[in-house]
Amino acid sequence: SILRRWKRNWFVLYLDGSLVYYHDETQRDMDGRIHIKYSCRDVRIGRECKDVQPPEGRSRECLLTVVLRDGSKTTLCAESQDDAVAWKMAVLEAKSTPVRLRAPEQGH
């Protein structure tokens, strides 16, 4: 019942496991954030993204869906199939990598 349109965003995956999306590459206007480390349950690409139509002129192989623990999903369309695979690997790595906080250096 809700009309969903594709919208261009600029995504940044930070070392702390946050996937933040911005209005554009200036990274001034944040549109949203997904805490991959805590919220992500699964990452799907290409044909695994069954319930989504890619934007006009793009292949289904470019799709990437981040499935969250609350059951919601965020679907992205990468520039290419290779980019979708690279994003999936990066998101899965962020999901599984522990965040290490370094203690401040002690003076000698």
Q: What is the CATH number of the domain that holds 22?
A: 2.30.29.30
The predicted pLDDT at position 1 comes to 38
Which letter does DSSP use for residue 78 in this model? -
pLDDT along the chain (108 residues), means of 10: 72 91 90 91 93 90 95 92 95 83 62
Contact of 63 with 84, CB cutoff 8 Å:
yes
The predicted pLDDT at position 64 comes to 95
What global pTM score does this model have? 0.80
Q: Judge residue 43's burial from the number of C-beta atoms within 10 Å of its C-beta, 0-12 exposed, 13-18 middle, 19 or more buried.
A: buried
Contact of 46 with 78, CB cutoff 8 Å:
no
Residues 6+ apart with CB under 8 A from 49: 60, 63, 64, 65, 75
Domain membership flag for residue 4: no
The predicted pLDDT at position 22 comes to 93
Give the total number of structural domains in the chain: 1
Domain membership flag for residue 1: no
